[in-house]
A and B are shown apart, each in its own frame.
Chain A
């Protein structure tokens, strides 16, 4: 083996910031989010009742739920972009938003007459909601794939699932600015499903698209 290589590499050494990984992931994520936001505005438009709905707790809860997934999965991705690092410490925090939303949904359902419960669960858009979330998750997903490929994930399925879920959270956040559903049971089922689909996509594609050299 050549000493030349060692000499070249050590001559090429420059100090490295601790934020290299986070910065790159944030860059990929924000690029994708901008694309998704533009697509949402062009294809669907913001919800027509934006002004009134901003005064409701439900508007903010949808955003917060989506944001929680994006942030927690984003931190998990920051770990999984590193060889041999584990994201378990972050992933377990997902129980907080999930449990919170399930509990609120249960109370809302319990406080509704049985006849009205189905409407509460499926709303007007259950059929399209998860698909649209998945659609708006794609640009951030692509941005995060780009970011990951420049880093060094060694657990490719887990890393794929983490960026898939983070992208799902971002996609849900953007879609929530269009969606007019206003019940927590709807959020608990269909938003979660859309974000989970995005995570599953990442899990499936991880080994194919995240290999780096």
Chain B
């Protein structure tokens, strides 16, 4: 769904007045945005992301009365997501800082394009063996070094490089050849 701030805010205001269809559309749009948001700062652990997205959607629901109609809806919902993310870090005992002012980066108008891209990439990754998937996520998406990834997986650095090269080649073939999105 290609929803802009203005669209989302209109849906939210209709929802506050009790429009269930608008609300359903809003939650649907938010679900993908939240997925992308948590993925970009957390991991690709699907269950973890799923929990956070559900938690956040429920918080949006339970606290919808705190939305001020003159406020940016994306800023409001993003702040809730960030609150949930910090909570998650606290619970899991990880000390991490969550940058405050990157709402814009995630909720720019054409942001759903990057959500779609993530979605496609995720599908493509599913076609690879699990070990290779993990390597690509570590190195290309979470920006670990080859050596760090090697240590984390108990592999030699050379083995990591070879597996990564093969995996990326396969991904390239996926996107350019059959089975690709275009």
Contact = CB atoms under 8 A, between A and B. Distances in A.
User: 5 shortest A-B CB distances, which residue pairs?
Assistant: A20-B65, A83-B79, A84-B79, A15-B18, A152-B63
B24 A10 contact: yes
A84 B58 contact: no
A110 interface: no
A1 B68 contact: no
Interface of B: 15-20, 23-24, 27-28, 31, 35, 50, 53-54, 57-59, 61, 63-69, 71-72, 75-80, 82-83, 87, 103
Given A1-B31, A85-B68, A154-B79, A16 B57 contact: no
Given A10-B27, A20-B66, A152 B87 contact: no
Contacts of A14: 18
Contacts of B15: 13
A88 interface: no
A156 to B, nearest CB: 9
Interface in A3-20: 5-7, 9-18, 20
B17 A81 contact: no
Given A6-B27, A152-B66, A154-B83, A82 B53 contact: no
17 contacts: A1-B31, A1-B50, A2-B54, A5-B54, A9-B57, A9-B61, A10-B23, A13-B19, A13-B61, A17-B65, A20-B65, A82-B66, A82-B76, A83-B66, A84-B75, A85-B76, A213-B87
B27 A1 contact: no
A11 B76 CA distance: 22
Contacts, number: 86
A83 B81 CA distance: 10
Nearest to A83: B79
A178 interface: no
Contacts of A15: 16-18
Contacts of A83: 63, 66, 75-77, 79-80, 83
A19 to B, nearest CB: 9
Given A10-B20, A10-B24, A154-B82, A82 B57 contact: no
A82 B79 CA distance: 9
Given A1-B35, A5-B54, A13-B20, 5 more contacts: A1-B54, A9-B27, A16-B65, A20-B66, A82-B71
B67 to A, nearest CB: 7
A13 B23 contact: yes
A85 B71 contact: yes
A84 B63 CA distance: 13
A200 interface: no
A1 B51 CA distance: 9
Given A16-B64, A213-B59, A84 B72 contact: yes
Contacts of B53: 1
A212 to B, nearest CB: 8
Interface in A127-170: 151-152, 154
Contacts of A27: none
A117 interface: no
A81 B66 CA distance: 7
A21 B27 contact: no
A43 to B, nearest CB: 36
A8 to B, nearest CB: 9
A85 B68 CA distance: 9
Contacts of A151: 63, 65-66
B76 A84 contact: yes
Nearest to B61: A9
A91 to B, nearest CB: 17
Contacts of B58: 5, 9
